[in-house]
Amino acid sequence: QAAFQRLGGSVINIQDVSVSSVTKGETLGDFIRTMEGFCDVIVLRHPEAGSVEKAAHFSHVPLINAGDGVGEHPTQALLDVYTIREEIGTVNGLTITMVGDLKNGRTVHSLTRLLMMYNVRLCFVSPPSLTLPQDILTELEAS
């Protein structure tokens, strides 16, 4: 939010949906259609995995995924890769190890998918109950 304002944009921040029409049954699609009347871009962070993809079907303005539940957080992944490039000079040729809760970490999911586009060696360390979701493991094996 602060970065967008520093670039000259204005922000309509809705954090407490209990004061919105969601409590009266407004759907995500209704919300997106209403908000696009007030803005040129929607940056959506939602607690439900897959919600941003669902919202994209209703939006006629650009929609940026700022995190959806335990699903994805691609904007953070882009920032992570940018930081690696700025600090190390390249992403290619690196060994990158991710440690911790790989199952529920949306940033890990997005970063893993993004790093598949580079020539890197990925290592993952987690307890057996918190390994990467099967769909991401399948994508890794195919890449």
| 19-64 residue pLDDT tens | 667 678 888 899 899 889 999 999 888 888 888 899 999 999 999 9
Angle at 16 between CA 72 and CA 101, to 5 degrees: 30
Contact criterion met (CB below 8 Å) for 66 and 83: no
Q: pTM for this structure?
A: 0.78
| Run of H or E residues at 45 | strand 42-46
